[in-house]
Amino acid sequence: MRLELRRHGMFLTGLAIVLTMSLLALLAPWLAPFDPAALDLDSILMPPSSEHLLGTDALGRDVFSRLLYGARVSLWVGFVAVGISTAIGVALGLISGYFGGWTDELIMRGVDVMLCFPSFFLILAVIAFLEPSLTNIMAVIGLTSWMGVARLVRAETLSLRERDFVAASRLAGASSVRLLLVHVLPNALAPVLVSATLGVAGAILVESSLSFLGLGVQPPDASWGNMLMDGKSVLEIAPWLSLYPGLSILITVLGYNLLGESLRDILDPRLRERS
C-alpha cells in the first residue's frame, strides 16, 4: 500500500510538471508579454517588477518571455531527439534479438563501440564540425543516444521470441515482419516508454549544456542554456538572469525523471506483486 501511494504520488507530480511545462511552451506566443528578441536599451538589467515579471537581461529583453520561448526549444529538442533515438534503438533491438546469430553479434558490437565514447564529448566533437543549429543538435543527440534502447528491446525480444503465442503465430505461417510488429513490439514497449521519458530529460540537459557552451541554439533565439550563459557574466548584480532558467531546467528534468521512475514502478510486474 505504501509503495502504491508513493508510486502514484510520483506519477501525478511528474505528470503535473510535464503537462504544465508543455502547456506553457505551447502557449508561449500568447502568454509572452514581449517579443523575446526585442531590444530595449532603456530597460537594461531591470530587476523583477510589475512590468517585467522576471526582470530584463543585459540587452533589455524580457526574461519571462525568453523563458517561455526557451521552453519551446528545450522540449522540442527533447521530443525529436528521443524520437530519433527510440526509432533507431527499437529497430536494431528487434532485429538483433529476433534473428540472433551474426546479425546480433554485429549490432551488439556496434553498440559496444558507441558506448566506448563518452556521449557528451562525442556530441561536442560532431557539433564542432557542423553549423550550430537546432536541427543539427536534435539529429546529433538522437543519433548518439540509441544504444540503451537497443539493449532494452533486444533483451525483451530474446524473451518474447520463445513465448508460446509467438511460436504459434510462426507455425501458422506469419512472416518475420508481422511477428515483430504485431506480436513482439507491442509487448516490448513498456521499458521503451520508460527509457523515452527519461531520455527527454537527458536531451534537455544536453541541449542546455551545448547552448551554454555556445555550440547550441544561437542568439537571438532564446534557449535556457544560452540564457544561463548570458547571466553568468552579471551574476553578482543580476542573479535573476541565471536563477530562472536554472530553475526551469531543474523543474523540467525533475518532472520527467519522476514520471519515468513512476512509470517503471507501475509497469514492472515484479513491483506490482510486491505492493
For each of the chain's 275 residues, which pLDDT tens digit applies?
455 545 677 888 999 999 999 999 999 999 999 888 888 888 888 888 888 889 888 888 999 999 999 999 989 999 999 999 999 999 999 999 888 888 889 999 999 888 887 777 878 877 777 777 788 888 889 988 899 999 999 988 888 887 777 778 777 777 778 888 887 888 888 889 989 999 999 999 998 988 888 888 888 888 999 899 888 888 888 898 999 999 999 999 999 999 988 888 777 655 554 54
DSSP calls for 79-104: HHHHHHHHHHHHHHHHHHHHH-HHHH
Collapsing DSSP to helix, strand or coil, 272 comes out as helix
Whole-angstrom distance, CA of residue 6 vs CA of residue 179: 37
Q: What is the pTM of this model?
A: 0.88
User: What is the DSSP secondary structure assignment for residue 180, as one 8-state letter?
Assistant: I
Task: Please work out, in degrees rounded to the nearest 5, the angle formed at the alpha carbon of residue 261 by the alpha carbons of 259 and 262.
Answer: 65
Q: Write down the H helix ranges in the chain.
A: 2-26, 28-31, 63-99, 101-115, 119-129, 134-143, 147-160, 164-171, 176-178, 185-187, 189-212, 224-232, 240-267, 269-274
The owner of cell 534537455 is 204
The predicted structure's pLDDT at residue 171:
75
Burial of 22 (0-12, 13-18, 19+ CB in 10 A): middle
CATH annotation of 2-37+52-274: 1.10.3720.10
